[in-house]
Amino acid sequence: MKGIFEILKPRPRAEPVEEKQDSILFSTAFARLGVDASLLVPWEARAAEIDAKRLTAARGTKLLQALWVKDKYMSHLDGQSIQSMERYFDFATVPANRDLIRQDEYGNFMIVLLSGAVAVDRVQPWGERLRLAETRPGEILGEMSLLDSGIRFSACTTMNECEIAALSAEAMDDMLSANPQLAANLIALLARKLSLRLRVVSARLSEKK
């Protein structure tokens, strides 16, 4: 999580910005950790693999706004801010029983569920498959790997046909470069949601011991 705080930390105004240092944080993070590029699964590859069909940006953004305005954390992003994010997301429709995210893989994108339901499962070291959650529209999946460049903690599988919005590391870099305030707000809100989710998952895993 160190990279998040490096982004949010104020910088002296007189300090020169060298080669858009912040703008390459997410898209190069895996390489800087020594992860082989061939192991990285980008959204474009996953979308082709699961037969995702493009959803219009107009519908995707409308769904995103309607969902996030009701969310405790994401409602801090006003309608205009969410509208500004339209060009950074890839919107798609995904059939049932498709793996949006797989456990223990490297991926540099996150997913916002716009409609439908997604099962979040984790296979324990002793082989038991544990259902962590069945997510509802508005939930965010995979943000942990986008933020800290670690491997995926769990698998996320569509339970029925779903509409989703995908945000890649490259798109996050573009947002940081073009609208750093918007990007910083989004990252801070994602970190808060992630912290809450980890506390819930940790409690569930402790109960299973």
Taking only the tens place, the pLDDT of each residue in 83-133 is 888 999 999 999 999 999 999 999 889 999 999 999 999 998 888 889 988
Nearest residue to 135 via CA among 160, 147, 117 = 117
8 A C-beta contact, residue 193 and residue 139:
no
- Cα(36)–Cα(29) distance, integer angstroms: 12
- Cβ-proximal residues to 162 (8 Å cutoff; 6+ apart), any chain: 93, 94, 96, 113, 114, 115, 116, 117, 118
- Cα(205)–Cα(189) distance, integer angstroms: 24
Nearest residue to 94 via CA among 142, 159, 154, 139 = 159
Tell me how many helices (H) and strands (E) the chain has.
Answer: 8, 11
In which region does residue 70 sit, left (phi positive, over 0), alpha (psi from -120 to 50) or beta (all else)? Answer: alpha
pTM of the predicted model as reported, rounded to 2 decimal places: 0.80
Of residues 159 and 153, more confidence is placed in 159
What is residue 125's DSSP assignment?
T
- Cβ-proximal residues to 174 (8 Å cutoff; 6+ apart), any chain: 23, 88
Question: Which uninterrupted H or E stretch holds 168?
Answer: strand 162-168
All structural domains of the chain, each given as residue ranges with its CATH number in brackets, are: 22-190 (2.60.120.10)
- Cα(195)–Cα(199) distance, integer angstroms: 6
Least confident span in 16-20, 143-147, 178-182? 16-20
Within 116-159, strands assigned E span 118-123, 129-135, 140-141, 155-158
Across the chain, mean pLDDT equals 84
For residue 82 the two structure tokens come to 């969410």
Per-residue pLDDT, 24: 55
Per-residue pLDDT, 19: 44
